[in-house]
């Protein structure tokens, strides 16, 4: 993944948070690259909790 953003964020809010759950998809890589101190994941789809960090 090659990012186009050069600024930093204090928080990231993701709608459809279930879509960034899988580590190998591009959406997850893009959100992880932003590395803010705070993430908000919103979803109406139930997801299983796991022991690895998003």
pLDDT value, residue 46: 75
Comparison of pLDDT for 54 and 13, the residue scoring more: 13
Provide the whole-model pTM.
0.60
Length of the chain: 54
What average pLDDT does range 19-48 have in this prediction?
83
Closest CA to 9 of 40, 42, 35: 35
13 forms beta bridges with 40
pLDDT value, residue 5: 75
Burial bucket for residue 22 (CB in 10 Å: 0-12, 13-18, 19+): exposed
Phi/psi of residue 39, nearest 5 degrees:
-115, 140
DSSP letter, residue 39: E
Q: What pLDDT digit, counting tens, does each position of 2-32 carry?
A: 667 778 889 999 888 888 877 788 888 888 8
């Amino acid at each position: 993944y090659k990012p186009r953003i050069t600024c930093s964020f204090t928080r990231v809010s993701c709608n459809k948070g279930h879509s960034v759950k899988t580590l190998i998809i591009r959406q997850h890589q893009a959100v992880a690259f932003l590395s803010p101190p705070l993430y908000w994941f919103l979803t109406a789809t139930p997801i299983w909790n796991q022991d690895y960090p998003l």
